[in-house]
């Protein structure tokens, strides 16, 4: 087998999207993954292209909610006691990122990546033959009180300033869009431009099939060694001109081996996917005060979200998925909760809510593309464009300085 131009480490939505764009630019690409395509967070996410989510998770609003959430071990935010000491430095960085000036900076940077990703999505779907998987049903954010709704208005003003379309609703407007919701939800905000994919796992597997059909190679390997060379990189003995590290939550030790100690942590996300007839769901429902969403996929009704900062090694706590399902039943009394499939996956998260996209400090031939948190699918096409620009020595489509690994 001849030497590839690029080895991409990671066969999730970021890695495969980058591999396809690199392949389209005429490069020979090999993808390596510890488990294979769509084996991690790319398979179990909510399936949304959340381009309107330009506000960073690290914000003063989250700081206000966090103490109450942490008191509930099955609530929207949890830190297992056995992991609390280990996560403390990350939490300190997160707290610092919530300062108003830093939030403003992160919002500007996040918005630029969102805009690029939105603009790149349609041509990417067309090029990969996956445009038929896109859904445009909108999203409905729900509030249980007028005070909760009023507290969200500054964030909506920021979106309005950026030209994001939305419409605030009263209880009657909510019922018109999504019948069957509990009357406890008195206000809502509808985002008509919100779009999603028919099923995230099917989408990533379709990308893998497209990549292979065009001559790409996908291998299964847990990468242990990266060695910079004068004119390239050696990955477990295999040489290439460039390597792209897009291994999601498993990227940190690879970057550390190259001298970049990046504070990547693992948000463990949970969900339950119910049969398709579990609910007549018209659009994605966002229960922000409870940290989870309800999404309609071809494979069923998915109820998931929340944050458990517990690393890669602790066993899953599926009581968290069960707690979200119980809440969903109380919010949607007609929901049929039988026959669900539980899942837990790892979201790669950085304390300022921005990913790392850029060159390794060890070698210009190593490109980082990880740490997208809840927004991997959303930002996949934009990240792929930036990775391809870097590998082919083109000026990046946007300023990538704020995404540098050295910002920490």
- For the segment 56-83, the average pLDDT, to the nearest whole number, is 81
Look at residue 60 in the predicted model and tell me its pLDDT.
80
Q: Enumerate long-range contacts of 153-157, CB under 8 Å, 24 or more apart.
A: 155/55, 155/61, 156/189
Residues in the chain: 408
CA 29 to chain centre: 24
Count of beta carbons in the 10 Å neighbourhood of residue 35: 12
- DSSP code string of 288-328: GGGTEEEEEETTEEEEEEEEEE-TTTSPP-THHHHHHHHHH
Q: Which residues contact 393 (CB under 8 A, 6 or more apart)?
A: none
Look at residue 105 in the predicted model and tell me its pLDDT.
95
Look at residue 72 in the predicted model and tell me its pLDDT.
76
Q: Which residues contact 30 (CB under 8 A, 6 or more apart)?
A: 4, 6, 7, 8, 216, 217, 218, 219, 238, 240
Distances (CA, A) of 311 to 18, 26, 294, 348: 26, 38, 25, 10
Q: Enumerate long-range contacts of 315-319, CB under 8 Å, 24 or more apart.
A: 316/268, 316/270, 316/344, 317/80, 317/270, 318/270, 318/342, 318/344, 319/74
- Is the confidence at residue 70, as pLDDT, over 80? no
- Residues of the chain above pLDDT 70, percent: 100
Q: What is the pLDDT of residues 385-402, one digit of tens each?
A: 999 999 999 999 999 999
Look at residue 71 in the predicted model and tell me its pLDDT.
64
- For the segment 302-324, the average pLDDT, to the nearest whole number, is 93
- Is the confidence at residue 270, as pLDDT, over 70? yes
Look at residue 292 in the predicted model and tell me its pLDDT.
94
- d(C-alpha 23, C-alpha 29), whole Å: 6
Look at residue 127 in the predicted model and tell me its pLDDT.
98
- How crowded is the C-beta side of 378, counted as CA atoms within 13 Å? 24
- In the numeric block, the tokens 């979106």 are attached to 159
| Mean of pLDDT over the chain | 95
Q: Where are the domains of the chain?
A: 1-55+99-135+194-264+351-408
Using left for φ > 0, alpha for ψ between -120 and 50, and beta otherwise, residue 92 falls in alpha
- For the segment 280-296, the average pLDDT, to the nearest whole number, is 96
What is the chain's alpha carbon radius of gyration, rounded to the nearest angstrom?
21
- d(C-alpha 283, C-alpha 208), whole Å: 28
- Is the confidence at residue 65, as pLDDT, over 90? no
Look at residue 73 in the predicted model and tell me its pLDDT.
77
- Is the confidence at residue 328, as pLDDT, over 80? yes
Q: In the CATH hierarchy, which fold is given to the domain comprising 1-55+99-135+194-264+351-408?
A: FAD/NAD(P)-binding domain (3.50.50)
Q: What is the pLDDT of residues 125-140, one digit of tens each?
A: 999 999 999 999 999 9
Q: What is the pLDDT of residues 132-180, one digit of tens each?
A: 999 999 999 999 999 999 999 999 999 999 999 999 999 999 999 999 9
Relative to beta strand 195-197, strand 134-135 is: antiparallel
Q: What is the pLDDT of residues 362-379, one digit of tens each?
A: 999 999 999 999 999 999
- d(C-alpha 29, C-alpha 235), whole Å: 13
Relative to beta strand 292-297, strand 300-309 is: antiparallel
Q: What is the pLDDT of residues 1-60, one digit of tens each?
A: 579 999 999 999 999 999 999 999 999 999 999 999 999 889 999 999 999 999 998 888
- For the segment 62-81, the average pLDDT, to the nearest whole number, is 79
């Amino acid at each position: 087998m001849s030497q590839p131009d690029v080895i991409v480490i990671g066969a999730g939505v970021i890695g495969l999207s980058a591999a396809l764009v690199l392949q389209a630019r005429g490069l020979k690409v090999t993808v390596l993954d510890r488990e294979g395509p769509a084996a991690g967070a790319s398979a179990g996410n909510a399936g949304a292209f959340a381009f309107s989510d330009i506000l960073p998770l690290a914000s003063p609003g989250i700081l206000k909610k966090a103490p109450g959430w942490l008191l509930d071990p099955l609530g929207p935010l949890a830190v297992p006691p056995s992991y609390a000491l280990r996560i403390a430095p990350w939490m300190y960085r997160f707290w610092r990122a919530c300062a108003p000036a830093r939030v403003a900076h992160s919002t500007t940077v996040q918005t630029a990546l969102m805009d690029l990703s939105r603009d790149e999505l349609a041509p990417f779907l067309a090029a990969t033959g996956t445009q038929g998987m896109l859904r445009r049903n909108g999203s409905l954010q729900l509030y249980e009180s007028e005070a909760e709704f009023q507290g969200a208005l500054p964030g909506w003003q920021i979106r309005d300033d950026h030209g994001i379309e939305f419409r605030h609703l009263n209880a009657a407007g909510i019922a018109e869009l999504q019948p069957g919701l509990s009357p406890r939800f008195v206000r809502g905000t509808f985002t008509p431009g919100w779009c999603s994919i028919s099923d995230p796992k099917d989408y990533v597997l379709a990308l893998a099939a497209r990549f292979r059909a065009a001559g790409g190679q996908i291998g299964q390997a847990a990468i242990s060694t990266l060695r910079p060379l004068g004119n390239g990189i050696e990955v477990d003995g295999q040489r290439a001109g460039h390597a792209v590290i897009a291994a999601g939550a498993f990227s940190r030790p690879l970057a550390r081996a190259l001298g970049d100690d990046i504070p990547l942590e693992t948000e463990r996300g949970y969900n339950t996917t119910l049969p398709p007839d579990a609910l007549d769901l018209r659009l994605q429902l966002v229960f922000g005060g409870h940290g989870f969403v309800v999404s309609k996929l071809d494979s069923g009704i998915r109820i998931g979200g929340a944050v458990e900062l517990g690393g890669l090694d602790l066993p899953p706590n599926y009581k968290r998925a069960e707690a979200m399902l119980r809440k969903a039943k109380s919010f949607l009394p007609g929901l049929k909760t039988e026959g669900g499939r539980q899942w837990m996956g790892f979201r790669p998260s950085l304390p300022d809510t921005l990913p790392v996209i850029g060159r390794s400090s060890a070698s210009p031939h190593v490109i980082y593309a990880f740490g997208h948190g809840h927004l991997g699918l959303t930002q996949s096409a934009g990240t792929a464009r930036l990775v391809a620009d870097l590998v082919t020595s083109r000026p990046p489509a946007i300023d990538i300085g704020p995404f540098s690994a050295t910002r920490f």
